[in-house]
Amino acid sequence: MDNFTLRPATETEFSQIQDLIRLVGINPTGLDWKRFIVIVNAEGGVLACGQIKPHGQEVRELASIAVTPEMQGRGLARRIIEHLLSSSPRPLHLMCRSGMGALYEKFGFRAIAYEEMPKYFQRMSKLAGLASILMHSGDSLLVMKLE
Ligand SMILES: CC(C)(COP(=O)(O)OP(=O)(O)OC[C@H]1O[C@@H](n2cnc3c(N)ncnc32)[C@H](O)[C@@H]1OP(=O)(O)O)[C@@H](O)C(=O)NCCC(=O)NCCS
Protein backbone atom coordinates (compact mmCIF):
# COMPACT_ATOMS: atom_id res chain seq x y z
CA MET A 1 0.00 0.00 0.00
CA ASP A 2 1.34 3.44 -0.93
CA ASN A 3 2.16 5.72 1.97
CA PHE A 4 -0.11 8.56 0.86
CA THR A 5 -2.13 10.82 3.14
CA LEU A 6 -5.31 12.71 2.27
CA ARG A 7 -5.82 15.81 4.41
CA PRO A 8 -6.57 19.56 4.31
CA ALA A 9 -3.75 21.58 2.72
CA THR A 10 -1.41 23.75 4.78
CA GLU A 11 -0.28 27.25 3.85
CA THR A 12 3.25 26.01 3.16
CA GLU A 13 1.84 23.74 0.43
CA PHE A 14 0.26 26.61 -1.51
CA SER A 15 3.12 26.98 -3.97
CA GLN A 16 3.07 23.23 -4.69
CA ILE A 17 -0.69 23.46 -5.33
CA GLN A 18 -0.18 26.41 -7.71
CA ASP A 19 2.61 24.53 -9.52
CA LEU A 20 0.43 21.42 -9.90
CA ILE A 21 -2.52 23.43 -11.26
CA ARG A 22 -0.22 25.16 -13.77
CA LEU A 23 1.45 21.89 -14.73
CA VAL A 24 -1.83 20.17 -15.65
CA GLY A 25 -3.18 23.31 -17.32
CA ILE A 26 -6.44 24.00 -15.50
CA ASN A 27 -8.01 27.26 -14.22
CA PRO A 28 -5.33 28.98 -12.09
CA THR A 29 -7.73 31.53 -10.52
CA GLY A 30 -9.52 31.31 -7.18
CA LEU A 31 -6.90 29.15 -5.47
CA ASP A 32 -7.38 29.80 -1.74
CA TRP A 33 -5.20 27.18 -0.01
CA LYS A 34 -7.60 27.06 2.99
CA ARG A 35 -10.25 25.34 0.86
CA PHE A 36 -7.94 22.68 -0.56
CA ILE A 37 -7.69 18.97 0.15
CA VAL A 38 -4.40 17.35 -0.86
CA ILE A 39 -2.89 13.90 -1.11
CA VAL A 40 0.76 13.98 -0.08
CA ASN A 41 3.49 11.35 -0.14
CA ALA A 42 5.77 10.47 2.78
CA GLU A 43 8.16 13.29 1.81
CA GLY A 44 5.39 15.91 1.87
CA GLY A 45 5.13 16.21 -1.92
CA VAL A 46 1.67 17.18 -3.14
CA LEU A 47 0.47 14.47 -5.57
CA ALA A 48 -3.16 15.51 -5.96
CA CYS A 49 -5.51 18.30 -4.95
CA GLY A 50 -9.05 19.60 -5.18
CA GLN A 51 -11.37 22.16 -3.61
CA ILE A 52 -14.95 23.30 -3.23
CA LYS A 53 -15.08 26.91 -4.44
CA PRO A 54 -18.02 29.05 -3.31
CA HIS A 55 -19.72 31.57 -5.60
CA GLY A 56 -21.85 33.58 -3.20
CA GLN A 57 -23.96 31.88 -0.52
CA GLU A 58 -25.84 29.29 -2.55
CA VAL A 59 -23.54 28.15 -5.33
CA ARG A 60 -20.61 25.78 -4.84
CA GLU A 61 -18.18 24.41 -7.41
CA LEU A 62 -16.11 21.23 -7.31
CA ALA A 63 -12.87 22.62 -8.75
CA SER A 64 -9.10 22.32 -9.18
CA ILE A 65 -9.07 18.51 -9.37
CA ALA A 66 -5.50 17.72 -10.38
CA VAL A 67 -3.09 14.80 -10.11
CA THR A 68 0.62 14.88 -11.03
CA PRO A 69 1.12 13.23 -14.45
CA GLU A 70 3.22 10.37 -13.02
CA MET A 71 0.51 9.47 -10.46
CA GLN A 72 -2.51 9.59 -12.77
CA GLY A 73 -4.62 6.47 -13.25
CA ARG A 74 -4.12 5.20 -9.69
CA GLY A 75 -7.34 6.36 -8.05
CA LEU A 76 -6.04 9.59 -6.48
CA ALA A 77 -8.62 11.85 -8.14
CA ARG A 78 -11.34 9.43 -7.02
CA ARG A 79 -10.15 9.74 -3.39
CA ILE A 80 -10.10 13.55 -3.58
CA ILE A 81 -13.51 13.78 -5.27
CA GLU A 82 -15.19 11.28 -2.90
CA HIS A 83 -13.82 13.15 0.11
CA LEU A 84 -15.00 16.55 -1.16
CA LEU A 85 -18.44 15.15 -2.07
CA SER A 86 -18.82 13.56 1.36
CA SER A 87 -18.43 16.93 3.08
CA SER A 88 -20.28 19.30 0.73
CA PRO A 89 -23.94 20.29 0.69
CA ARG A 90 -25.88 19.90 -2.56
CA PRO A 91 -26.34 21.00 -5.20
CA LEU A 92 -22.76 21.06 -6.39
CA HIS A 93 -21.65 22.28 -9.82
CA LEU A 94 -18.50 21.94 -11.87
CA MET A 95 -17.05 23.07 -15.18
CA CYS A 96 -14.91 20.87 -17.38
CA ARG A 97 -13.86 20.27 -20.94
CA SER A 98 -16.50 18.20 -22.74
CA GLY A 99 -14.09 15.25 -22.93
CA MET A 100 -13.98 15.01 -19.11
CA GLY A 101 -17.74 14.59 -18.65
CA ALA A 102 -17.50 10.78 -18.39
CA LEU A 103 -15.23 11.07 -15.34
CA TYR A 104 -17.72 13.16 -13.39
CA GLU A 105 -20.72 11.10 -14.47
CA LYS A 106 -19.14 8.30 -12.43
CA PHE A 107 -19.81 10.44 -9.35
CA GLY A 108 -23.41 11.27 -10.27
CA PHE A 109 -22.91 14.63 -12.00
CA ARG A 110 -24.98 15.33 -15.10
CA ALA A 111 -24.51 17.99 -17.77
CA ILE A 112 -26.99 20.86 -17.55
CA ALA A 113 -28.37 23.26 -20.16
CA TYR A 114 -27.58 26.97 -20.15
CA GLU A 115 -31.02 27.86 -18.70
CA GLU A 116 -30.38 25.63 -15.69
CA MET A 117 -26.99 27.15 -14.84
CA PRO A 118 -26.47 29.59 -11.96
CA LYS A 119 -25.48 33.07 -13.24
CA TYR A 120 -21.74 32.55 -12.60
CA PHE A 121 -21.67 29.45 -14.81
CA GLN A 122 -23.76 31.15 -17.51
CA ARG A 123 -21.13 33.91 -17.67
CA MET A 124 -18.27 31.39 -17.83
CA SER A 125 -20.10 29.36 -20.44
CA LYS A 126 -20.52 32.43 -22.68
CA LEU A 127 -16.84 33.34 -22.27
CA ALA A 128 -15.75 29.78 -23.07
CA GLY A 129 -17.97 29.73 -26.15
CA LEU A 130 -16.38 32.95 -27.37
CA ALA A 131 -12.84 31.70 -26.66
CA SER A 132 -13.54 28.47 -28.50
CA ILE A 133 -14.72 30.41 -31.59
CA LEU A 134 -11.71 32.77 -31.46
CA MET A 135 -9.23 29.92 -31.00
CA HIS A 136 -10.94 27.60 -33.51
CA SER A 137 -11.00 24.94 -30.78
CA GLY A 138 -13.46 22.07 -31.08
CA ASP A 139 -13.48 21.50 -27.31
CA SER A 140 -16.50 22.93 -25.52
CA LEU A 141 -17.12 23.67 -21.87
CA LEU A 142 -19.47 21.41 -19.94
CA VAL A 143 -21.28 22.61 -16.84
CA MET A 144 -22.43 19.73 -14.65
CA LYS A 145 -24.55 19.45 -11.53
CA LEU A 146 -24.85 16.96 -8.68
CA GLU A 147 -28.24 17.14 -6.92
C1 LIG B 1 -8.42 14.07 -14.72
C2 LIG B 1 -7.53 13.65 -13.55
C3 LIG B 1 -7.81 14.55 -12.37
C4 LIG B 1 -7.87 12.18 -13.20
O5 LIG B 1 -7.02 11.81 -12.11
P6 LIG B 1 -6.65 10.28 -11.84
O7 LIG B 1 -6.04 10.18 -10.49
O8 LIG B 1 -5.87 9.77 -12.99
O9 LIG B 1 -8.10 9.61 -11.83
P10 LIG B 1 -8.48 8.27 -11.07
O11 LIG B 1 -7.40 7.26 -11.30
O12 LIG B 1 -8.84 8.57 -9.67
O13 LIG B 1 -9.77 7.84 -11.86
C14 LIG B 1 -11.07 7.94 -11.28
C15 LIG B 1 -12.06 7.41 -12.28
O16 LIG B 1 -12.18 8.34 -13.37
C17 LIG B 1 -11.88 7.70 -14.60
N18 LIG B 1 -11.13 8.67 -15.40
C19 LIG B 1 -9.91 9.17 -15.16
N20 LIG B 1 -9.56 10.05 -16.11
C21 LIG B 1 -10.60 10.08 -16.98
C22 LIG B 1 -10.85 10.79 -18.20
N23 LIG B 1 -9.95 11.65 -18.71
N24 LIG B 1 -12.04 10.59 -18.83
C25 LIG B 1 -12.96 9.73 -18.34
N26 LIG B 1 -12.79 9.03 -17.18
C27 LIG B 1 -11.62 9.19 -16.54
C28 LIG B 1 -11.05 6.49 -14.25
O29 LIG B 1 -11.21 5.47 -15.22
C30 LIG B 1 -11.62 6.10 -12.89
O31 LIG B 1 -12.78 5.31 -13.02
P32 LIG B 1 -13.03 4.09 -12.00
O33 LIG B 1 -12.70 4.59 -10.61
O34 LIG B 1 -14.47 3.79 -12.20
O35 LIG B 1 -12.10 3.01 -12.46
C36 LIG B 1 -6.03 13.71 -13.95
O37 LIG B 1 -5.85 12.98 -15.13
C38 LIG B 1 -5.54 15.12 -14.16
O39 LIG B 1 -5.04 15.76 -13.25
N40 LIG B 1 -5.69 15.63 -15.40
C41 LIG B 1 -5.27 17.01 -15.73
C42 LIG B 1 -6.13 18.04 -15.02
C43 LIG B 1 -7.60 17.93 -15.34
O44 LIG B 1 -8.00 17.77 -16.51
N45 LIG B 1 -8.41 18.03 -14.27
C46 LIG B 1 -9.85 17.97 -14.39
C47 LIG B 1 -10.35 19.34 -14.57
S48 LIG B 1 -12.09 19.31 -14.94
Contacts of 63 (CB under 8 A, 6+ apart): 27, 30, 50, 51, 52, 53, 94, 95
For the Cβ of 106 lying below 6 angstroms from any atom of ligand 1, the answer is: yes
pTM, two decimal places: 0.95
pLDDT per position as a tens digit, 30-66:
999 999 999 999 999 999 999 999 999 999 999 999 9
CA R_g for the chain: 15
Element (H, E) at 12: none
For the Cβ of 84 lying below 6 angstroms from any atom of ligand 1, the answer is: no
The segment(s) of the chain belonging to CATH 3.40.630.30 are: 1-89
Spatial contact of 142 and 100, defined as CB atoms under 8 Å apart: yes
What is the CATH class of 1-89? alpha beta
For the Cβ of 76 lying below 6 angstroms from any atom of ligand 1, the answer is: yes
3 state DSSP class of 23: helix
Cα-to-centroid distance, 103 and ligand 1 (Å): 6
Interval 115-123 mean pLDDT: 96
